[in-house]
Structure 1
């Protein structure tokens, strides 16, 4: 009887469960031995045209596959608070509303592959904070907007393959290693990307993706390693791993100085220069992380941009690292400048008067009396005055024109000054400073000085800048006893002006000196060698030139002499020959004497020599005729 009752209860439960299952779907409850379980729902009726609305509320996995559904309406699953897996695959969906996935707080996996989606509501991903898998394979997506990047940060499986994507936002690669600056919570967590079967345009916008495909053993795993370019024409069919992009260079940043020290209340200009292709954009960040708006930028040419940031009336809180960031689609770069503020700001005190009649300062703040530092009368305390009508702060010091007199300290009511004060009370205005440049280099120079009339611990400021460019001054803090300072970060082949400023003297004329840095290529030794070789060559060539001129003049003079006698020339032009002819036959003649010599006439012997020996010939006419030879 007991078993019959259990069976009846089970049948009732199953019947109740089936009552809540949509008519075109199949509901399965996966129970466990501990009495808990999960429910999955499968809807694959080809005649289904709408998303079912009566799905059991305890459904954990919902699959809508191979139906005629064309649209996912707003809040289609808002009551499925336990839904973890949502598969709407291989349907005819072409429209997804922004609020379609409202209230799916625990959804872990969303698959929409095999549909007709051309525009996906990326902002709807914020309704699914637990989402880790997003499958949009085999749709009609043409773009992923930059606005979608923040919603994809937590995605570890993203499939965008078999779409119509030609590019991706550059910032998308920055959320994954190796471009992500934030360390992963789990270093062993792999990120899977499906990007194959898309008509990729291989330009600088996807340079990070191309670079990622060339990295071995990366935390980002590509489903297909053999991604190929479709455009431009010169890269069509080329693998990402072998693609070389043109006009795509990561930015680099250079600052005018790495460390700057300025007095309290002064104005400071910070400059940085950046190069890269495409031309990078520049931005400044304060030490507290806030962006800086008061900047001036200019791009003098393609791939080059500079930016200047201004700080007005700096305070102690303005000290710190200022970052100049350059960014383009190929990457980003950063450089920092450390700003330190010299001096202190006093609080409001009663007006201070000296024996020379120094009156009270302006309202708000006053100078700290010189008696604050008795043992060092040259120390200076700065104060910031209220802004003038031009809204520019002013900086002033206690030092007055002439000698700097420390305040009197009474001892035992006698009103006498301490003996140590009398010994240390030197007049800095009478100090003699000899300033010179000992050595110039390509980007550095050595400054030497000798000081007479100042204590060795007197603070000095070295101020230097390119000649005539007052807005790019750089400063270095030193002391009078050091006598030497190395100036670095200079530009080659540039004229610089350097001054040595005694902090305790504001009115006296400060010593300055100008110098030039060496050119990028030091040609001093080469010039000397060239001069020596030139001298040797000149010493050898000049006699030859003189001899040649002499020969030319000699030939010219010889040609002006009397011409040779024509008769002599005629005689020299002919050759005389003797004619050998056969003897006339006689009865009494000796048979061996067949040849005889006969004299020839001068005209016969005079044969022109201009005929070549090849043309020479002998003509035999008769016994009595002569033989003619032509040369």
Structure 2
């Protein structure tokens, strides 16, 4: 009997010390269940997917853990994983190989994150996936072949996202739908597929025609969780249900002008008109001699659901304002234009055939002061001031383009306007903008050269700078003493700052109100909708580094002199 007890005790202990059975992540709990082991991490600050997750889990649930992304091979060593819940984190990025190694995964829940897009080809690594929950994210596009690699999916939730336009081909190209349609037509029964698409800002114009017709005719095997989809635009269809609307096919613009040849006396006002018929509504620009016109008053009035009228008002016509005007209308299908010729004829010898003298007559003494009033990563606003006798009648020309490109966009600016803004520039690019009197070439002092900023986010900048400071400190601390040529004070400063950087604790705080506000309206659908909480952000971090690494690569005899020359200054990097 005693021998039996000893043997049983040893077996019992061996069960609990088996590798992968007794280990668990710090701050998490592990449970042995009938179908395998489960890892539960709730409100545990992680920031990233841990690398030391035991390999024998079949279910992992990490919620409110402030995960930022799903990098390459996040769970590649967990070949037995079947259920993965990552709800209510801060995931904004998903690597195309983030699901690598999860061939047995059947359920993936990413509710309440910040995904704006999903690399749909990532699901090639999850051929058994049956449940995909993406509700309460920020998805705004669903590509035509996005469901191609989900052949056995039976539940797809895309509700509460930012989808506005979607093609019915997304579902026509879904292998599961194609197979289910064939089975349904042949046998009249098939396992149902649940699809959730409600609470998205659907734009019910011609681009949504195919999808609306698909929803109106939907039947098994597709079952909508909420079949009452609402339009969020355009204004005439706001809050209209899909089953109550009929949409027409999209068409390219057709532009026409009621008057194509206009004769007016100098000094008079003239209004040019252009009718455009298109689905969806077009964007319209007016051009004169292939130059975009700014400064004139251009307005667009909607006549009916498919037709708009654009007018261009030209005040106080002068001889230079005559010529060919073009109304250019475009949408995603194509473009169309209408041309109007403006002829200016003198009625008497006293009529002003030319604009006032400052506009066309070259005046080398005219000074134009130009400055940058506002600048962002993608845009700039310039302001200028010129000493003119008649500022209310003075026209200007904007010359704008890349600094190293001979091509310049030429834009006319009407009287009374002394600023110009551009909002579609490329980041980290050198540009030049010049302001001159109308039709005059740029002169010295009339141009400004600038470089747009970087579009790297503030968080990325912080991470890069932290990485740089840490790497520099490690390099300084790891170089042998003989390689130093800096002062003792500088070396101690580096060591002290590196130590402070690593010792500074992460600060976080709970803030339930933010999470509840962000996910207000989420229906309780099981454990994934409970325990919503939030962790605060890091406190602001400021790190300064004044380390200088001095090396002698040209001979022992010149080491000290060169090092002294290089160690006269320091460098500092501040992180906010």
TM-score under structure 2 length normalisation: 0.40
Rg larger in structure: 1
TM-score under structure 1 length normalisation: 0.37
